[in-house]
Structure 1
Amino acid sequence: MYKAASSTETKLDEQLTPLIIKTLKIVVFILSLLFILQNIGWNITSLLAGLGIGGLAFALAAQETISNLFGSFTIFSDRCFHIGDWVRIGDVEGTVEEVGFRSTRIRRFDQALVTMPNSKFIKSEVINFSEMKKRRIKFNLGVSYKTTAKQMTDAVEGIKKIIEDDARFERSFYMVHFTEFGAYSLDIFIYCFTKTTIWNEYLSMREEFNLKIMQLLEELNVEIAYPTQTIQFS
């Protein structure tokens, strides 16, 4: 628990530090500007009063900026993602590189950099793949109508055994069942989870799983089905 809390604090620090630095730069710039104006003879009190009168007009003109600021507050208060997380927001998917006051930068997997206004996070669904505890494998395996009942039973039990014998699978819950008489195949429904959430490891594990299923079907002399057409001549 301590490690998890420490990791969360570290990630939060990575996001807050750039924002704090930017804020301090803005504050220092404004104070320096006021100091310079005062030294050259400007009436700072009148200037600030004038800014107050024009504040409403400025606020109306800066609605989008204010909306973006609220979006950034939402990101930090909800902690929906951190720098380095793999996320999907709308049709944009990639790794979070930077969170700013106005916008967030996301590096897509094709290496394109997307800058998104923070206001979008108030309205859009945010999917954080880095928070997954496991990854799902779900598909229908169609085998030939030549398959006998015994072969089907052996195939289903064999696939279950592949999952049970591999500690990398979440073995507390999975489903493997003969579910349908399809249009051109007998369908086996396979639903299980891998413990790893790392994309490359997941793909390697899924490839290995598919190859083991192919080997099992070869041993049982069960053919994988494919679409066919029957033409009758009369």
Structure 2
Amino acid sequence: MLEQLLPEVNWEKVWSATYETVYMTGLSVIATFILGLILGLLLFLTSKNNIWENRPVNIIIGAIVNVGRSIPFIILIILLLPVTKVIVGTILGVNAALPALIIGAAPFYARMVEIALREIDKGVIEAAKSMGAKTSTIIFKVLLPESMPALVSGITVTAIALIGYTAMAGAIGAGGLGNLAFLEGFNRGNTEVTIIATIFILIIVFIIQFIGDIITKAIDKR
């Protein structure tokens, strides 16, 4: 049926490209969540009047995060080509896109983590301190549980941004739906392929947003 309606579309390539996009997004989201969470926690904990208050460390981490957020993704990919070559062994393919995807998204999510942590009632943290709670206890029993709805909402937004990043990475040989739209659609003047790739990207975005909203509502006890 689909082959008859859209004869110019190679559906085997479409499904393969969709898998590549989901693969790149999934792995980079997991790594971004972990790295961004660590950076965000460090930003919060080393800020003024917090547990690990340390202005020099806070300034350094803040600068790293700001620089990471400021570099346009397409330029970041180019800058990281030598690093990618060393880590992955190639500058082409889905795995080659992962370093740039993670480094590009982690600082963005780190700021979201910091904002989420700042919204926690200071009284809750002070109460934990007054009861002699260790720093690890405060982090895992107070900070993360209290901020979890915002953290999930933030990683949902970041995941959607990452899909856009994968499309850009695809334009320079990383694979995925972006690569399909560029090579099979734009370069060959095949509008049908471009439209299908766009629709599939939108479907992935809607699914991620739907899942993120459900999880956020389920864990938000306010």
Shorter chain as normaliser: what TM range?
A: under 0.3
Whose strand fraction is larger, Structure 1's or Structure 2's?
1
Q: Which of 1 and 2 has higher RCO (CA within 8 Å, sep 6+)?
A: 2
More helix by share: 2
Larger Cα Rg: Structure 1 or Structure 2?
A: 1
